[in-house]
Structure 1
């Protein structure tokens, strides 16, 4: 009897220790389980922060494990061309369950996999996000939508000042330009900015204070980056020449398609004080160098592998959107932003500043 009592006591202690470990894991890490319907891929990729994780899909099911220091914006992708029908979702340190649907459609000769999330549970941030999306779709046509939007955002941010979704939804609404300056300032002061990423802060500040961004007629922000030979190249080196700063990436199809035309212009005007500096936002050095070689880019090319955390790319507005370009005069002043190939050629022929600005 004594032996049985000791055995039962030991099992009770072990069970409590096990539960304690399990509870601690659920608080300090996330588990993302899901079921896929439709086109079932062999591998599923999860992107969040600077992390790209992958799992083997078995019987239409997937399981991700990881740790985030705060709720993070996340998205899925699969091999080939894929897009999410909604921009993103939020993961946090908890056990989450998802139902995912993947539908393949042919568009303009390409097979594109559309990834949609039918349901998600276990993420408090997703509940806040879904609540706002339903509220917005219900009331955004109302005559008093401005005041309703402000009150809704005020409630979300006041109740969740440190949650990254507060900054996320605030930034999205800033871009829509519905809120007035007074409303924007009130909401901004309620956000716990210490919890925001550098990218979020820069994006918000760029919209609130647009005069701080690089504009036509202003001086460029000089920077120094490494080229394919690991040599440091600075924009200061181009003073006295007309410079086209071309932001691009190896994975950017429009960027790659315009490279042959840029090559023609460069070969025509390179002896007339004209230069091009290619700035890649790639994170994969091998793919970047391969693209430079395959596209036969003979002008200097540099790379900033810091991605969204790069102050250079944030300042020039090129963290996600490429191609982007800036035409700089011989004194370092910005002549044009996102100038077309045709307008660039006209400018170089005429050597005047009568160039259209394209946003």
Structure 2
């Protein structure tokens, strides 16, 4: 009997050692049976890759962790873009705490790299709070002066300098974490975030990437980064459109198959936003509520929107239109990054948008958040 008991202990120990690693999400203020999904975060041009899913029961969802090596990933709660939680998908027991009433207080932990993600998140939130405070206190004044820069040029330059200083703090923070983690996946993730700032040329970023270890570069994430660098280098010489340029013609189809050109759409309009997006683009989906708000505010005053999607999945495109309540005209060629508009418009990332007059002249571009509505109102009042 003693031998059998000892054998059972050995089996028990073996089974416990073979226990799968997990992703454990603990929530507050989220209803039971709410769907939770895990995706690999796209590097702008990539579609998100679905990893696993589950539902919240008793304020918790415990998912099997299938990650075999480090990946930049996120948790999506009930398909709400405001509730995306970034973490590093890697082997181990990853823990995430999220309160929907306090979304900035999310906590990611459980593995060494995710401890670093949490440290970075806390520092970046502090900078974001300072930026938000700046816009609350001085944003309106900055916008007001910008409309009459000759009268208050010194004050405008001072405000611009203050804003740039706060923005630079965030870039400095990314650089700090990238330099401190050049020997691990988190450092490579921070490198990607630095690439997104476009402070340097793609040739310089390529040289920086080459300085990473062969192990990191040959990892699944490293290969994705290498492919992204290759894509960006191919389009780096494409001329971007600027304010004052005439938007090139395009041709694409609506969800019901009707072909539309830019020229035909602009007829009879006072002001049009050409909004380039995709269902798989997280930042695009996060920006969609701002476009909806602007459309509702100005649609009866001569303003209109045409959405041009870089989707390649017809069903996903139509679902996103419905889910995000995009009420304006939508078109696509379902060609992903091979769509002619990418080269014709010099698009290197999305969302990208162009505010144009009836003759297609660009009067503003890449407007985000409240800036979009403010600019539309300013132009329509002229």
TM-score tier after normalising by the smaller chain length: 0.5 to 0.7
Q: Given that residues 39 and 74 in structure 2 are in contact (C-alpha distance below 8 angstroms), is that contact kept between their aligned partners in structure 1?
A: yes
Alpha-carbon distance in structure 2 between the residues aligned to 1:180 and 1:266: 37
Calculate the TM-score normalised by the size of structure 2: 0.53
Unaligned ranges ≥5, structure 2: 41-47, 126-164, 278-283
Alpha-carbon distance in structure 2 between the residues aligned to 1:19 and 1:154: 37
Paired residues for 1:122-201 under 5 Å: 123-130=111-118, 153-154=178-179, 156-157=181-182, 159-160=183-184, 163=185, 165-173=186-194, 186-191=207-212, 192=217, 195-196=223-224, 201=229
Alpha-carbon distance in structure 1 between the residues aligned to 2:332 and 2:119: 40
Query: What is the CA-CA distance between 1:74 and the residue it aligns to?
Result: 1.0
Q: Find the residue that maps to 1:153 and give its secondary structure.
A: helix
Unaligned ranges ≥5, structure 1: 105-112, 268-275, 348-359
Q: Given that residues 217 and 333 in structure 1 are in contact (C-alpha distance below 8 angstroms), is that contact kept between their aligned partners in structure 2?
A: yes
Paired residues for 1:113-128 under 5 Å: 114=103, 116-121=105-110, 123-128=111-116
Say which is worse superposed, 250-259 or 75-84, in terms of deviation: 75-84
Q: Which has the higher contact order (CA 8 A, sep 6+)?
A: 2
Alpha-carbon distance in structure 2 between the residues aligned to 1:56 and 1:17: 29
In the other structure, the counterpart of 1:341 is 376
Q: Given that residues 326 and 336 in structure 1 are in contact (C-alpha distance below 8 angstroms), is that contact kept between their aligned partners in structure 2?
A: yes
Alpha-carbon distance in structure 2 between the residues aligned to 1:146 and 1:103: 28
Q: Given that residues 153 and 187 in structure 1 are in contact (C-alpha distance below 8 angstroms), is that contact kept between their aligned partners in structure 2?
A: no
Q: RMSD of aligned C-alpha atoms?
A: 5.8
Alpha-carbon distance in structure 1 between the residues aligned to 2:336 and 2:22: 27
Query: What is the CA-CA distance between 1:32 and the residue it aligns to?
Result: 0.8
Q: Given that residues 23 and 94 in structure 2 are in contact (C-alpha distance below 8 angstroms), is that contact kept between their aligned partners in structure 1?
A: yes
Count of matched residue pairs: 301
Q: Find the residue that maps to 2:36 and give its secondary structure.
A: strand
Calculate the TM-score normalised by the size of structure 1: 0.55
Q: For residues 277 and 136 of structure 1, do their structure 2 counterparts lie closer, same or farther at Cα, with a shift above 3 Å needed? A: closer
Q: Which has the higher helix share?
A: 2
